[in-house]
Amino acid sequence: MTVIPYKPPPTVREFILDYAPGRLFYDWIVGPVGSGKTTGIFFKLVRMASLQAPDPDGIKRTRAVVVRNSFPQLRDTTLVSWNLWFKDGTAGHWRATEKNFDLKFGNVECEVLFRPLDTPADIARVLSLEVSFALLDEFVKIPRDIVEALSARVGRYPGNCTNWGVWGSSNPDNEDNWWYDYLHKNPAVLQMPKAHEFDYADPDAFAAWIALEGTDMSQVNGRFYQQPSGFSPHAENLLNLPPRDGSADYYHEIAKGKPEEWIRQFIDAEWGYSAEGKPVVPTFRSKDHVSSGLKYSPSQPLIVGLDPGLGGSAFVFTQEDLHGRMLVLGELCQEGYGSQRLIVERLNPFLRHHFPNARVVIAADPAAGNRSANDEQAIIQPFKDPRTGFHVDIETNNRLPLRLDAIESFTMKMTGAGPGLQIDAEKCPRLIRALKGGWRYVIDQKRAEPRAEPEKNPWSHVGDAFGYAARYFHRANERYSRYNQGPAGRRLVIPTQWGSSYHMR
């Protein structure tokens, strides 16, 4: 067999070549559609199979399994990509009944098994295999326990296996997917620099970069590549996409008519956005609305959005600065707490530690003013106890559209100091994940449109609490605007130090 020449983009090239001191066990690549990821994992197989030590007869024998979450996806996408490069009768022999391809070139023979994970029986078959390599196509859809179990099946074949590993490609998913933390916050996974930020042609560059980063490679067993957006000047694989002139026309064309969340996930390759649901706050932009090092001002009241409930409750701690920006300074989420215990064990310690001597206003869900199912006392009543020192503000009409209007009055606002919403990146991770797509409308599969109410999930409580806080500020600003106009639309003029008394113009 002669392997078809393939000129991958820089990042995929290094993914294939496994550019690192010693080959790492895991290798992952995430990027836009059409960026060469799936082709990359196949050609990495070609390279890795060629590195196997030969048997006594001189043949390098290996076995690989290519896994996809469902059989239709395996058949319609993964196998189509494989057959484009490795044709039956040229690159080897396709055994349709078993869904196996016997790849042969030079002195290399690799049995490639294509397997879905539709049913428990499918999973059991995959996890009983003895293979050299495992390839995970669209790996973000594969559960952690399956990945970990599958990892224990590689390196089992042949008996003298000298080269093994697990690798895969994918589009990004929501940040609440376990893969996000595994790839971004795991010291065992090395996050590789973008190709345009790093001189891969220099053989000493990698060692120098590792030294600069202070990475202990003895603790690393995997790598992770994040490809640039398809709209980026550094977008990859453009020469292999129509019109094959190196332009981004392909991405601009497929973006037309697509929802914003689809574009962010499949072209910008941003984590946190999923085409499986519609974000409740589509105007949220993490690059504009997420900041770090926000400061609490003891001279300003602390507005605390509250979404209570035994099943799940959340506080969001906010202030409005002198520029009119809404600053989100902290969050507190929990399950299984009644109101009194919530104050004593969660809220008060948090306030003492993060916001000492704060003048606290609780902006709560109006439903919290109703009597609870267990007794005659309203859920909010313990917060109104004078001994707490809290001021409680409950609006009589706090429907979701009103809260969303309030939120968007800040997400759409620009001030002299920048965007009107600033959320502390370190102190509010759950809220940021909620706004990036965790707090969402589920798509009704029959009608192919979002349902009327957001999905109740781990992110909805902190999203609701944020909405109550935003509504408090929005109402205050509306009141200020009305009062500032004075009666009959006339403007209230505050006198200068030596001027006349208050008057209306």
**pLDDT tens profile 332-375:** 999 989 889 999 999 999 999 999 999 999 999 887 666 555 54
What are the tens digits of pLDDT across the range 386-435? 988 899 998 777 788 999 999 999 999 999 999 999 999 999 999 998 99
Q: What is the mean pLDDT of residues 476-501?
A: 58
Q: What is the mean pLDDT of residues 80-93?
A: 94
What are the tens digits of pLDDT across the range 32-71? 999 999 999 999 999 999 999 999 999 999 999 999 999 9
pLDDT at position 139 over 50? yes
Q: What is the pLDDT of residue 100?
A: 97
pLDDT at position 148 over 90? yes
Q: What is the C-alpha separation between 78 and 112, in angstroms, rounded? A: 13
Q: What is the C-alpha separation between 169 and 269, in angstroms, rounded? A: 12
CA dihedral 132, 135, 136, 137 (to 10 degrees): -160
Q: For residue 173, what are the contacts with CB-CB under 8 A and spacing of at least 6? A: 140, 141, 179, 180, 265, 271, 274
Q: How many CA atoms lie within 13 A of 333 on its CB side?
A: 18
pLDDT at position 462 over 50? yes
Question: In angstroms, what CA-CA distances link 237 with 83, 246, 279, 344?
Answer: 19, 8, 30, 57
CATH class given for the domain over 10-240: alpha beta
What are the tens digits of pLDDT across the range 3-22? 555 666 666 766 666 554 44
Q: Give the start-to-end residue ranges of the domains of the chain.
A: 10-240, 287-487
Instruction: Identify the CA nearest to 34 among candidates 257, 260, 254.
Output: 254
pLDDT at position 304 over 70? yes
Q: What is the C-alpha separation between 389 and 386, in angstroms, rounded? A: 6
Q: What is the pLDDT of residue 81?
A: 94
Q: Which residue has the higher pLDDT, 453 or 369?
A: 453
Mean pLDDT of the chain: 86
The sign of the dihedral angle between the CA atoms of 196, 270, 187, 163 is: negative
| 287-487 CATH | 3.30.420.280
Domains 10-240 and 287-487 share a fold: no
What would the 3-class secondary structure string for 105-123 be?
ECCEEEEEEEEECCCHHHH
Which of 70-74, 194-198, 456-460 has the least mean pLDDT? 194-198
pLDDT at position 136 over 60? yes
What are the tens digits of pLDDT across the range 242-279? 999 989 999 999 999 988 778 988 999 988 766 567 88
504: confidence class by pLDDT, cuts 50, 70, 90? very low
Give me 120's structure tokens: 């428990």
Q: What is the mean pLDDT of residues 277-292?
A: 89
Find the helix or strand (DSSP H, E) in which 29 lies: strand 26-30
Q: What is the pLDDT of residue 307?
A: 92
287: confidence class by pLDDT, cuts 50, 70, 90? confident
Q: E-assigned strands of 184-312?
A: 189-191, 222-226, 277-279, 290-291, 302-307
What are the tens digits of pLDDT across the range 472-483? 999 988 876 665
Give me 349's structure tokens: 């310690």
Tokens 């930020």 correspond to what residue? 197
pLDDT at position 207 over 90? no
Question: In angstroms, what CA-CA distances link 329 with 101, 218, 222?
Answer: 55, 37, 35
